[in-house]
Amino acid sequence: MAALKLCILSSEIMPYAKTGGLADVTGALVHELALLGHEVRPFMPLYASVRRLPDMSRVAGAEAVPLDIGGVTYEFSLWSARGPDGDPPMYFVDCPPMFDRSAFYTTDPDEHRRFLLFTRAVIESCQRLKFAPDVFHCHDWHTAFLPLYLKTTYAWDRLFAGSRSVLTIHNIGYQGIMPADALPDLELGTEESRLDQRDLRFGLINSLKHGIIYADAVTTVSPTYAREICETSLGMQMQGVLRARAGGILGILNGVEYQDWDPRVDRYLAARFGPEDLGGKLVNKQLLAQGCGLDLPASAPLIGMVTRLAEQKGIDILFDSLPRVLESRSAGLVVLGSGDARYAEFFAGLAVRFPGRVAFRSGYDEALAHLIEAGSDMFLMPSRYEPCGLNQMYSLRYGTIPIVHRTGGLADSVQHFDAAQGSGTGCVFEHYDAPAVHWALNTTLDWFQDRPAWLRLMQNAMAADFSWSRQVREYESVYGRVLSSSA
């Protein structure tokens, strides 16, 4: 395929800002698409924590650019920094009143305005850079108004005459809903008629919905999630607009950046290992146990979790089942997570109730996330829904057997182990309820006791391959398709 000009815009991109998998995936896309020879220009907001990075410079010609949002004139400037490991430079939209806040995401009343500004600032930056992207690739609700802006506010600009837009939905549970009285903030003028009028009558404006309606192609992050959001209540009221899209919704499974997430090369690990030499895994298990204050017999299995503490992640079905498993089996548990207080209290309570066997670390810790992947025997991910999920794929490479609910990308990346056949890579439970996860935990702990079966399972898991080099070709095909169709 001929080299394309690609503009990737996202609220978080590795290695600059990350709260979850969105950053891993947009960072990977930048890296992999550039490797294929495309001209990739990634944009993200200049958050307070990013501002402290060295090696950033202002972009000439894009300084103090005025931008009206809801009758208020803001000013933004564009910064750029050299990309890591030969990656393309990153562009940062700087607007201190909007992005110098205590967190990337807020519950402030102007949250929608922050990302409207970001979205329009990216378009206006392209104008100033005289950069005409073949494709604007938007991610999640934060940038979902871009396709409509291209067709309205910026339709006059011939620079974008050949530009197309792609929206990737990473999580339909977050739609960027604002009250209808935020209408002037969109600055759409007479084009307001292109907004969903029914929602407006109900007093709402839904950012993601307009991306779904107006993007030239819509993708999501696994084939099963693509089906689930079109056909089941996991579409969270978007089933109708999703099904109305002529080209459908394409599910492209996320990949893994194995230069970051492979125990053979993982820079966070003191002891590296691989399928041919598993010795290092035991060293990591000891280091993890010591570091977290666990006191487990060497033969006891260790279950790991790294998760946002959000309802999506399935912690509710652990409330009864997990204490019962810990009472009846000699397993250990280590959990790293941040988010809702009620889930943090649950895990903190388990650590008190099972001293030396359960550790809970609250907060965000990249190094510990890697050590948990490397040092645990199993990885628990009982998500109620999971658009793709990355940790189960990371776990496979580390020989850390995933225990997952059959949903979304979990269903597409983990096969239930068949001990008789020696096939499969993890434990997959069907129903989202406490008995099912209780069964799954016990089943996996039983497999662990059968050493030949367990080694087989580990080898199967470690051989699974979810390299981005394959998945990124699917995005190339989507770009090719939107460019060959008329706007």
Whichever of 93 and 344 has its CB closer to ligand ADP, that residue is: 344
DSSP 432: S
Q: What is the nearest approach in angstroms of ligand GLC to the Cβ of residue 215? A: 17
Contact assessment for residue 205 and residue 145, using Cβ atoms and an 8 Å cutoff: no
Which residue, judged by CB position, is nearest to ligand ADP in the bound state?
21
- Figure out which of the listed residues 7, 22, 33, 69 binds ligand GLC, where binding follows CB under 6 A: 22
Q: Return the range that interacts with ligand GLC (CB under 6 A); candidates 20-28, 280-288, 435-443, 446-454.
A: 20-28
Q: Dig out the tokens for 481 from the structure.
A: 């398709």
Torsion of CA 339, 343, 348, 352, to 10 degrees: 180
Binding mask 421-460 for ligand GLC (x = CB under 6 A): ----------------------------------------
- Selection from ligand GLC, ligand ADP, none that 306 binds (CB < 5 to 8 A by kind) is ligand ADP
- Selection from ligand GLC, ligand ADP, none that 221 binds (CB < 5 to 8 A by kind) is ligand GLC
Which spans of this chain sit near ligand ADP (rule: CB under 6 A)?
20-22, 24, 306-308, 336-338, 364-366, 369, 388-391
Contact assessment for residue 8 and residue 40, using Cβ atoms and an 8 Å cutoff: yes
Pairing assessment for the beta strands 135-139 and 65-69 based on DSSP bridges: unpaired
DSSP 357: T
235 part of the interface to ligand GLC, by CB under 6 A: no
Q: What is the nearest approach in angstroms of ligand ADP to the Cβ of residue 194? A: 31
Whichever of 117 and 388 has its CB closer to ligand GLC, that residue is: 388
- Rounded CA-CA distance 116/349 in Å is 41
Q: What is the nearest approach in angstroms of ligand GLC to the Cβ of residue 170? A: 3
The Cα-based distances of 380 to 200, 212, 224, 299, 416 in angstroms read 41, 32, 20, 19, 14
The DSSP H or E segment spanning 220 is: strand 217-220
Whichever of 14 and 241 has its CB closer to ligand GLC, that residue is: 14
Centre a 10 Å sphere on the Cβ of residue 82 and count the other Cβ atoms it contains: 12
- Figure out which of the listed residues 133, 386, 399, 445 binds ligand GLC, where binding follows CB under 6 A: 386
- Selection from ligand ADP, ligand GLC, none that 366 binds (CB < 5 to 8 A by kind) is ligand ADP
Strand extents, DSSP E, 235-389: 249-251, 302-309, 332-339, 358-362, 378-381
Using a 10 angstrom Cβ sphere, with 0-12 exposed, 13-18 middle and 19 or more buried, the burial of residue 318 is: buried
Binding site for ligand GLC (CB under 6 A): 20-22, 25, 170-171, 221, 254, 386-390, 409
